[in-house]
Amino acid sequence: MRWSGPGSIGPGVRDPSPTRVAPAGIGSGRGSGCATLRRVSGVAPRSRVRRVGIVYLALCGVGTLGALLVAPRVEDPAAVVAALLPTLAGAYLAWSAYRADRAEAASAPTDPGAVADRLSVAVRRQWEAEARARRPADPYPLPVSWRGAEAGPAEVTQGLAGRDGQIGALFAGRVPDRRLLVLGAPGSGKTLLLVRLLLSLVEDRTAGEPVPVLFPLASWDPTAVDLRGWMERKLVQDHAELGAPAPGEYGGTTLAGILLDRRLVLPVLDGFDELPAVLSASALHRIGEAMPYGCGLVLSNRPAEYRAALRPTTGVPARLTGMAGIELEPLDASDVADYLLRDAGGTRAGPVRRRRGGGSRWSRCWGRTLRWHGRSRAR
């Protein structure tokens, strides 16, 4: 996952669901920042906790009595007591926990819309937790601005210029088909902008709408697995409860597969340029197959690499139709200077003030350095 100045990646997001969702638990997978989809309504009912406690104490008493009765008849009374004391009570606790988990799994809603609503809360909490964890390393986020991309890679390019927090409003109001191409040079802030967009979309999402999910493409091999299958695996990896079988009427797939098939996930595909160059054309073709016109999609790439993927030297050219496109602008010299002044402060800010009018070459040099520096500090 690439980060470019990770602090303050987005505003606070309202919880769209009145049901509380735990930030971690049985839904966590192998990836970092995993979030659970477990539905919770506060703490476990007190009556159930009290009942389990009473039974546990009673079994402890039975175990103690049994150990005392058996001990005089064996050669090693201490070993018998140590073995029998926890046996009944421990077995009961294990069985009780298993029964509770089975009951919770059986009662969890499997309606695709309800599953998507729970996923939305989990995704929001996952990325807000990432932001909080990284904010102390870099409390001054670098600004990100963009213009409309050239007409070649994208079909909609007019009226798309913006800056920082405007990305959510732009996607909602000026991207007619919810298909957005984000182009930018290395270190320009593409991932940062995608996370801001994701949080904005989650905040404004209403029940039953698609859930934006960020998928880093670096781990995808388009020659081995199609995009839909790979995204299903990633969803299950990051949100383990989505690996549960869907109800029979949905065709024997997983809950993650149902969300994808019902278009209840908005894929935010980051890092297309991190795929091997020889796979770029194949990857673009696979994306076009899985996400045809009419499916919402966000894709980031470098301008040159994306144009090369559109015009492969071999094979049939692929193209994503209906894409609006933006291209990230280089950092302005004043933005770089403001960042350095805030971060340095005191007497160390003197050289920055003297070079503040250094022009675009100075800002490009420092801008790229700061973006990479922000990523290393976040680690």
From 258, 254, 260, select the one nearest 241 (Cα to Cα): 254
CA neighbor of 181 nearest in space, from 283, 321, 278, 280: 321
Alpha carbons 66 and 70: distance in angstroms, whole number? 6
Q: What share of the chain is helix, strand, coil (3-state, %, to 5)?
A: 55, 10, 35
Residue 210 near residue 116 (C-beta atoms within 8 A): yes
Do the strands 179-183 and 162-163 form a parallel or antiparallel pair, or are they unpaired?
Answer: unpaired
Please spell the DSSP secondary structure of 144-178, one letter per residue: -EEEEPPTTT-SB-TT--EEGGGHHHHHHHH-TTS
Distances (CA, A) of 243 to 18, 144, 268: 24, 36, 20
The pTM assigned to this predicted structure is 0.68
**Per-residue model confidence as pLDDT tens for the chain (379 residues):** 444 433 334 433 334 343 333 333 334 444 433 444 544 333 445 566 667 667 666 767 766 676 666 667 666 666 666 665 566 556 656 666 656 655 554 545 678 999 999 999 999 999 998 888 766 556 667 789 999 999 888 999 999 999 988 999 999 999 989 999 999 998 888 999 999 999 999 999 999 899 999 999 999 999 999 999 999 999 999 999 999 998 877 778 999 999 999 999 999 999 999 999 999 999 999 999 999 999 999 999 999 999 999 988 777 788 899 999 999 998 776 776 777 676 655 455 555 555 555 555 545 555 555 554 444 443 4
Provide CATH code, domain 110-328: 3.40.50
Strand partners, 245: 254
What's the rounded Cα separation, in Å, for the pair 55 and 92?
8
Collapsing DSSP states into helix, strand and coil, what is residue 26? coil
Spatial distance between the Cα atoms of 356 and 362, rounded to a whole number of angstroms: 9
